[in-house]
Structure 1
Amino acid sequence: MEELHLAIRFSCTSFASMLLTYTQPLLPKMHYVRPFNIMQLDILRHQAVSIMATRLGEPPLRKEVIEYISDMDSHLWSMRKSKANFFRLMSLFSGLFAVGKWFGDVCTWRNPITTVLIHILFFMLICFPELRLPTLFLYMFLIGLWNFRYRPRYPPHMNNKISQADAVLPDELDEEYDTFPTTKGADLVRMRYNRLRSVAGRIQTVVSDVPTLGERIQALLSWRDPRATVIFIIFCLMAAVVLYVTSFQVMAALAGIYALRNPRFHRKLPSVPVNFFRRLPARTDSML
């Protein structure tokens, strides 16, 4: 159960050549002109692991260790890896969630000074559209400078917390190291199968929401619900006429004022567009 850390430091003779490397493809040209299919990649991966296991046989190193280091069975189910990837996904979108929470506080006037400043910035971007992209890139530049003080000081090592290895259960670890097909008893396989069904059921619910959203968007113009399609195309015609006779800056300003309106003008019920969208049909109505 001990850990062995191997640190390798690379140096370059030409800084310009190193920067040019970032613009070049990772693989040779033929890998993009005539790429391998999934089966060929799997065969090559197995052959590479077999060669590595043969070369590392002296001193003795079991083939299972080489396969695990090479992520040969990364496509197989692992409760630990699923938890780790889930928390990686949550960490990735945590910034967006924080921005959404901050914008919600701005819209509810949690801090009136901040909301007034956002109004001023918004109207500046509306009145001077040439400042939108420069402001965006300048903002990202300032964020990069601010994060310089929090830059990593040491090379990244294996992280047990990110890998969920510090909180893994013995049964989950035994399932991860189990062979394929399994060699365990029927009762243990039944328990793991029921646990997998429970986890996959929650994933299935989340995944089903994505096509439902897309099918409702398609239903706007597919005449699946004739009344909803008529309402939408009439709205599109009216919107085209209004946007033709009204400048974009005015419409954007009105939309911003509506989004940042005072909480006393908010409704506790869902808005009209949300109610209309949720009533659109989806193919879940036709599924068994």
Structure 2
Amino acid sequence: MAKDEKLVVEVIAAHNLMPKDGQGSSSPFVEVEFEHQKRRTRSKSKELNPIFNERLVLVQQQLSDSRRFSPTAAIALEATMYVVIFAPDDSQLWSPHVGVLELGILGATGLMPMKIREGKGGSTDAYCVAKYGQKWIRTRTVVDSVCPKWNEQYTWEVFDPCTVITIGAFDNSHVHNNGPVRDARIGKVRIRLSSLESDRVYTHSYPLVMLHPTGVKKMGELHLAVRFSCINAGNMLHSYIRPLLPKMHYVEPLLVRQVENLRSQATNVVAARLARAEPPLGREVVEFMLDHGSHLWSMRKSKANFFRLVAVLSAPIAVGRWIESVRSWHRPVQSLLFVVTYVVFVAAPELILPTVLVMMAITGLWRVCCTCVARVKVVVGGWGLYALRPPRFRSRLPSPLMSFFRRLPTQADSLL
């Protein structure tokens, strides 16, 4: 288990309580809530001056250390593709880091005005938040500027190059407002380290895009300088053949609802911890950086999935419509040719296969089919041998080759 700190609350007594049961008495108890943990004392029946003398113990998990956290908490924070590192809780079991990540947050241009001020028009009080692993950083707030300049630099130790750093931009709503307000989201950028060339400085502008009810909208551009320095090429190459998740996640996998529940609880713990930081981060900032609620249903996702399904079924639907048009004789020539061909094939079925082969040769599909069949034979043969291997050589863990391909960056990750 992770190293925890205990918060002990000693409840001694209470005096002169107000009666609440309508009979001039009450049955009080004390309840303590801390970081989504609740503890309560025993109830004292019909007592307005109760004496408890009880100790309530609450546990505070130490998630602030960027290298001391449980794998379950790491999975619960983000989707698996964005989780940065899985490390044991014991520091003696840590693997040596493979490199150092340096991030320079230079500035932003063309930010959309997020608030209206009297006599000044549109304005933005922007700041940035970057997250890699369990280490979060926040820049200073540049007041009243749509082209802020930060010029701040931060570093992280990298234990796995197939990881992601997240940088988000927000509008500080507390500058001219003392009430309980939420910082507005401007946008965020994700960069996968495996898409970076070692020891090369990348200085680029990244678009900040947000999804609004009216559609996707560009909110500005964020200027970053990124460099990943590899200090141990052997360990870095070895990390590519390791599974993405720890062994127990393959031996005893969690259900989807369990993962989402853990993810929600871990988000609550991290949000409570960062709210006590200096300067503090609001819950809305943490949820945006961790994609909290991304698994929930939305009309946009439903429409996108519907159109994907329609695209997959478009070919069968087109064939069905053509058959229906033949049956309804909307095009008499096509219907007549189809009926004649059908009668010929029924009268002489031995002509079906030669006719199909001739048509394939004319259209050039024969060579394509031969090539596809050869590839299918190789794939099916290899998969069959792999599936029928003796149980002694089977494992629930993915093979090194599969782990290597899963760790390669996709085209969506190649942002630079």
Higher RCO (CA 8 Å, separation ≥ 6 residues): 1
| Higher fraction of strand | 2
Q: Which structure's residues are more often helix, by fraction?
A: 1
Q: TM-score, normalised by structure 1?
A: 0.31
